Chain A
């Protein structure tokens, strides 16, 4: 993928070139004075950030950004989304084109050297999607079947290794696009599809009674929003907004969004002693 390398290379160059710019340390005041929050996200990944049939941007990332907008302005609509590809997530932060990015961004040490991550708002992992009423009931049945099961997975250098972490003997078929995984499962060419648990949750919700989650997740990664380095006040503010969405006053909004996109109810945080110090 020469193109990808070009992008990554140029983005890195731009990030370095713009490091000087990051000194301005009054983002919170700037955003409040502007009257709206500018958030970078994508538009092509359900259930994170995608367009509905009437062309409105929606998804879990979008809702998380709206929760931050509400903390700022008391109004979830005071947010402007900048459409960006995954490759543009870090450059758009470092060049100041966005106040923050919420775009299913996996927290890694390498990225944390370029931007400041907020606290995570979701823990992603790989799961197995099965057909409802199919030959295999769940993960245990797939594992017991050994090499006679075929698993569909998105094409990747590490795809085979990834599947074998959970199902050491399974046959692995790699596909080019997400919808082809689902077609392989639907047509019976694969016994299960290994993909992000959030994708499974969304697809199961979209096709009720047809598919199910195999009940096993592996390969964890944290999703967090990211802001520019050098402004601790802004980072603290976004962290506070996210924290209270998961444990405090905005829990209902967070839980409603979680239910909408992942189809699962969240238990409210225990009242009394703060959950985070348990």
Chain B
């Protein structure tokens, strides 16, 4: 009989599944964060500057999505959309659910940031003849970004963590890959710790990136 493999040997043997899992986790998170940020920024603009009717619609969407557990969104986009005729793969359904969830959070963060900018700023921009898009690009946007950044980073980190829920519908992200390795090696504690470390590494990278952007955009 072979001597029992050490943990580092087991990790080495499992390197590809775990790396693919990590890659899938990063891909899901990136897609959801990018999609959610684009959608959410638009949502925030509507929530702040939209007409009464569009504000109402955006508010309904935001409150409904924010009030629903992510897991329910994931299951709904996989099963209910499937029954409704939109047959998404598990990966697509998962990314869609996280994007929608992310957008509702970014929408609220954007609205909060825009509303905390003094009214005079927008009025001054208008007074010197800037169009709305110009004033957003050069006056309101940069200030809002500075205000919103900590909350945005927080949302991004939440998305990475929420991506673990996709294992329920069979997306082979890092958590599911880790569980697969555990079922072969019977070393749950060690491999969960390793997965925890990898999640931390991803989130730490996001946090550093956030700090970098914060420095670049700060006034000082």
Contacts and interface: CB of A to CB of B under 8 A. Distances in A.
A52 B188 contact: no
A46 B185 CA distance: 10
A52 B168 contact: no
A85 B167 CA distance: 8
B79 A6 contact: no
Contacts of B17: 51, 55
Given A21-B83, A88-B168, A88-B169, A10 B183 contact: no
A44 B83 contact: no
Contacts of B169: 84-85, 88
Contacts of A97: 82
Nearest to A47: B183
Given A14-B83, A95-B83, A208-B1, A85 B184 contact: no
A73 B179 CA distance: 33
B200 interface: no
Contacts of B72: 6, 10
A80 interface: no
B183 A87 contact: no
A95 B79 contact: yes
B212 interface: no
Nearest to A91: B79
Nearest to B181: A51
A51 B180 contact: yes
A7 B82 contact: no
Contacts of B14: 53
Nearest to A21: B83
Bin the interface of chain A by size. Answer: 35 or more
A55 B168 contact: no
B206 to A, nearest CB: 25
Contact of A52 (B76, B184, B186, B187): B184
A259 B82 CA distance: 39
Contacts of A46: 183-184
A209 B1 CA distance: 9
Interface residues of B, number: 31
B13 interface: yes
B79 A85 contact: no
B39 interface: no
A197 interface: no
Nearest to A97: B82
Contacts of B80: 14, 17
Contacts of A21: 83
B83 A17 contact: yes
A55 B71 contact: no
A44 B183 contact: yes
B180 A87 contact: no
Interface of B: 1, 13-14, 16-17, 69, 71-72, 75-76, 79-80, 82-83, 90, 167-170, 172, 176, 179-184, 186-189
Interface of A: 3, 6-7, 10-11, 14, 17-18, 21, 43-46, 50-53, 55, 82-85, 87-88, 91, 95, 97, 177-180, 182, 203, 207-209
Given A43-B180, A83-B176, 19 more contacts: A6-B71, A7-B71, A7-B168, A10-B75, A10-B76, A10-B79, A11-B79, A43-B176, A43-B179, A44-B182, A46-B183, A50-B183, A51-B181, A88-B170, A91-B79, A95-B79, A179-B187, A180-B188, A182-B186
19 contacts: A11-B79, A18-B83, A21-B83, A43-B180, A51-B17, A53-B14, A82-B170, A83-B172, A84-B169, A84-B170, A85-B168, A88-B169, A91-B79, A95-B79, A95-B82, A95-B83, A177-B188, A179-B187, A180-B188
